[in-house]
Structures are given as C-alpha cells and as structure tokens.
Amino acid sequence: MSVNESARPGIVPNPHISALPIYNAGMNIRLARQLSGHDDIAALASNENPNGCSPKVMEAMASSAFNPSRYSDPACTELRNALSRLLDLPPGQIVVGNGSEEMVAAISRAFLVQGSSALTVTPSFGLHEIEPLAAGARVTKVPMTSDMGFDIPALEAALATGPALFFLPSPSNPVGAALTRGELDRLVAATRPQTLFVLDEAYFEYMEEGQADGMALVRSGNFPSIVLRTFSKAYGLAGLRVGYATCSNPEIARIVAAAKPPFNVNAAAQVAAVAALADQQWMKQSVERTKTERARLARGLDELGVFTASSQTNFLFFRTTLPSEHAAKALLADGIIVKPWREAGYENWVRVTIGTPKQNDRVLASLNHILNGAS
Ligand SMILES: Cc1ncc(COP(=O)(O)O)c(C=O)c1O
C-alpha cells in the first residue's frame, strides 16, 4: 500500500514495512477442501511432520506442568537447560523463540540498521530476505548453482564485501542441499569480522551423517555465529511455535534476547518442547520414516522424468514442464497442497513435503496424470 492509499491521510507507515513482499505461505486446509471438493487433503506445502508428535507431548500438556493461567517463563529456563544438556552449550548462549522465524526477525532487528547489507541465497526461505528488508537493509541473494548446490565461489566473493548479516539455510529450504564440512570451512574463512554468520539448521535432524554441523562452530566460541533450529519439523510441533538460536557467545545471545518480546514463547509450547526433547527415540524413528519415504518419492519422481534436487530435508524440490502455479493448481484438484515456487528463475519449481506413504503415492499418481496424461 502506498502512503496515499493509507487508511487516513497523515498516517505514514514505515516504508520498509509497507514495501515488503508477501510471504509465500502454504494454503490453508479448509480453503483447499473448498477449492478441490476433496475432504482428505494431503497438506504437503509447509514441511510439517506427517507422523504428528511424540505421545509424551500430549501427556505433558494434559498434566499440571501446563498452567494456562500464569504467564509463561520469559527466560524459558527449563527448556534452555534441557537444550543445554543435549547440545553441550551453556544455557546463556541459547535464546528460545516463538518459532525460529521469530529468531530470524529478532536477529535482523538486533544487528541491522537502515542501509546495512544482508546476504542470503536464492531460491531462499522467504524470511531470510523479508526480515532484513523490514529492518531497512539491502539484501543480496546469491543463486544456487545449476545443479542446485551452494555456489561457494560466488558466496565467498559476496562475503568479501562484508555484509552485516549472512543468513544461510543448511540444509537449504527450498532446495534441500546441505553444506559439506569443507564448504562451511571455506565460507567461514571468507567471512569478514563485521559479518554475523547465521546458519539456519531448521532441517538439521534430516541430514545425512558427515555434513557440516554448525553447532561445532558455535561451541568453539571463536567465530561470531548463530545456529537456528526448530521444534516444528522433526519434533512435529509446528502449531505450537518453538525454535531457538544458539549463539557463539553470551553477548550475542543477550542482544538477540533483547530484540524479542518478553513472553514470546507460550506456556503450552514450553511444556511441549521439553517433553518432545526428552523423547529422542520418537523423533529419530519419525526422521527415519521420513528419510525412507524421501528416497522412495525421489525414485518415483525420477521414474516420471521429473528432475528433483537432491535433498537432506523432509521435502523435495522438483522442476516441472509447467509453470509451478499451474502444477500446484492441478495437484490441488486432486486434494494435494504443495508450494509453487515464485522467485525469479524458479517459477517452474515446486516444493513438496514428504508425507505418509499413502500421501506420497497420491502425489506420484497425480503428477503422472498431470505431466504424462496417465489415467
Ligand atoms: C529454513 C527455515 N528456517 C526457519 C523456518 C521457520 O520455522 P519455525 O518458525 O516453525 O521454527 C522454516 C520453516 O519452514 C525454514 O524452512
């Protein structure tokens, strides 16, 4: 909305906010039912966990540990202590957010001012661009390579310009690629002292062994960095909104915490996350099921002649012969929600979350019909 279109003359919005691009959110299930006429919707646009969450989470939320009448703990003490034990990192270096997306916003607010520069990749997780823009920064986006890997030489060159913030998702959303240790080392070496390196590991648990682990970098404490992780994916708590920032020193953590609202993580979410974290066995089994299905869905797409980027996440990113919006619309007619990519250069790419075996079969059958005319 321009200033002239604002509700009342004289009200001037923050121009960085009013000019923001819209976040490309997955379609709501109720709307998908209405539009498709299908009751049984396969919601595969938002990388949620099709296995739900640990039963221990529901037990904890029904117990006296959850008290809706009291304000939640602004410091998330119990959760930070539990994370500290699991990650071998002092609690003073951990900040919990209302989803890791809130940490992306807090970091942008904390370390960017009008005219700062921020660096990320394209195709990208929308908020790695939107939140720096909201803070008034300029955003440079380095494209992934044509075979959908990180373009390390181009990122090294961009890092040499000394951006204030570098948001890098590894594994990448939407592509699925994960940095190797050697690639991370090269990026760290190319980072200038004025740059805060933020590695977003929302899909960390789905990664294969031997890839770069940003937590080792944070733990070492000698490189200014933040690693973001979330309970929304492998732990299945997307609806409760819990994610966290691990910081390479307590001062960075203090500044990130200062940029968030005090009672940002609600009481239900705190209780649920502590219970989810304690049930590592459930999480690991769920991840294994997803990985098995990821390999099967990737094979199925390959057999349909669809080019799919190699993925270390709970989703696949594939290129269709149709504009992505058309492909998404055709899939929706079969009751399947996917995310059509809209960024320039990627308008033929679609991201699909790994669902249950039955949902993945539906995706393959529907795509076979849409792309190859199979009945
Ligand atoms: C790379 C990445 N970072 C952060 C998030 C935000 O996750 P949440 O706010 O649910 O923790 C997502 C969600 O899809 C993501 O893909």
- pLDDT tens figures, 67-80: 999 999 999 999 99
For the chain, domain boundaries? 8-52+281-372, 55-279
Q: Whose CA is nearest to atom 2 of ligand 1?
A: 202
- pLDDT tens figures, 285-295: 999 999 999 99
Higher pLDDT, residue 312 or 25: 312
- pLDDT tens figures, 334-343: 999 999 999 9
Kindly give the distance from the C-alpha atom of residue 6 to the centroid of ligand 1, in angstroms, as a whole number.
31
Higher pLDDT, residue 6 or 156: 156
Domain 55-279: give its CATH code: 3.40.640.10
Using most ligand atoms within 8 A of CB, pick from 23, 44, 120, 232 the residue to mutate for ligand 1.
232
Q: What integer pLDDT is reported at residue 26 of this predicted model?
A: 87
Query: 138-143 and 336-337: which strand pairing?
Result: unpaired
Mean pLDDT, rounded, for 24-34: 91
- pLDDT tens figures, 194-204: 999 999 999 99
Give the right CATH number for 8-52+281-372 from 3.40.50.300, 3.90.1150.10, 3.10.580.20, 2.170.130.10.
3.90.1150.10
Predicted TM-score (pTM) of this structure: 0.95
Residue type, 295: A
Using most ligand atoms within 8 A of CB, pick from 24, 173, 229 the residue to mutate for ligand 1.
173
Whole-angstrom Cα Rg for the chain: 21
- Looking at every residue in the chain, the average pLDDT score rounds to 95
pLDDT value at 284 more than 80: yes
55-279 has the same fold as 8-52+281-372? no
- 202: closest CA among 181, 225, 182, 172? 172
Among the residue ranges 18-22, 142-146, 325-329, the one predicted with the least confidence is 18-22
Mean pLDDT, rounded, for 201-224: 93
Mean pLDDT, rounded, for 144-156: 97
Contact 17, 137 (CB under 8 A): no
> From the alpha carbon of 125, which atom of ligand 1 is closest?
1
Kindly give the distance from the C-alpha atom of residue 25 to the centroid of ligand 1, in angstroms, as a whole number.
11
Mean pLDDT, rounded, for 182-189: 97
Lookup: tokens for 5? 């279109």
- pLDDT tens figures, 43-57: 999 999 999 999 999
Task: Name the percent of the chain lying above pLDDT 90.
Answer: 92
Contact 98, 242 (CB under 8 A): yes
Q: What integer pLDDT is reported at residue 211 of this predicted model?
A: 87
Q: What integer pLDDT is reported at residue 7 of this predicted model?
A: 63
| Phi, then psi, of 59 in degrees rounded to 5 | -60, -45
Q: Which residues of 175-212 are buried (b: 16+ CB within 10 A; e: fewer)?
A: bbbbbbeebbebbbebbeeebbbbbbbbbbbbbeeebb
Residues near ligand 1 (Cβ within 6 A): 47, 99-101, 125, 169, 173, 200, 202, 230, 232, 238, 243
Name the 3-class secondary structure at 241.
coil
Torsion angle defined by CA atoms of residues 85, 86, 89 and 91, in that order, rounded to the nearest 10 degrees: -60
Q: What integer pLDDT is reported at residue 209 of this predicted model?
A: 87
Kindly give the distance from the C-alpha atom of residue 3 to the centroid of ligand 1, in angstroms, as a whole number.
32
pLDDT value at 3 more than 80: no
Mean pLDDT, rounded, for 226-242: 98
